[in-house]
Amino acid sequence: MESNRKDKIVINQPRAFEERRQAARILVERLKYDLPVAIDSMDNRADAAYAAWPERLYVVAAGGRIVYRGKLGPFGFDPSEMEKALAAHLGTVAVAAR
């Protein structure tokens, strides 16, 4: 990320939840990340539940039901496929490719 190189932001592996919260705050405030951010608990429950390693795109419905699980990323990412799944779940029409 270019802004990370410019700002020289280094975050050590968090050892407490407040350190994770601070890392998320840096992402949002200093690096101008404008998508919703969730912070996993220190026992990494979300990581274990969603097997998001190396990376994976999910659409999670109310109540925690997974309505879309993408292929492993980054090479398996298909945002348009995820967008269609989200639109189908919400009963809306997917936005045309940008």
Residues 3-30 have pLDDT tens digits of: 546 667 888 999 999 999 999 999 899 8
Q: How far apart are CA 37 and CA 26, in angstroms?
A: 11
Q: How far apart are CA 80 and CA 95, in angstroms?
A: 9
Band of residue 32 on the pLDDT scale cut at 50, 70, 90:
confident
What's this model's pTM, rounded to 2 decimal places? 0.53
Query: Sign of the C-alpha dihedral, residues 25, 34, 57, 85?
Result: positive
Q: How far apart are CA 74 and CA 80, in angstroms?
A: 14
Chain center to CA of 88: 20
Determine phi and psi for 59, rounding to 5 degrees. -120, 120
Q: How far apart are CA 77 and CA 11, in angstroms?
A: 26
Q: How far apart are CA 82 and CA 97, in angstroms?
A: 12
pLDDT of residue 95: 57
Chain center to CA of 90: 19
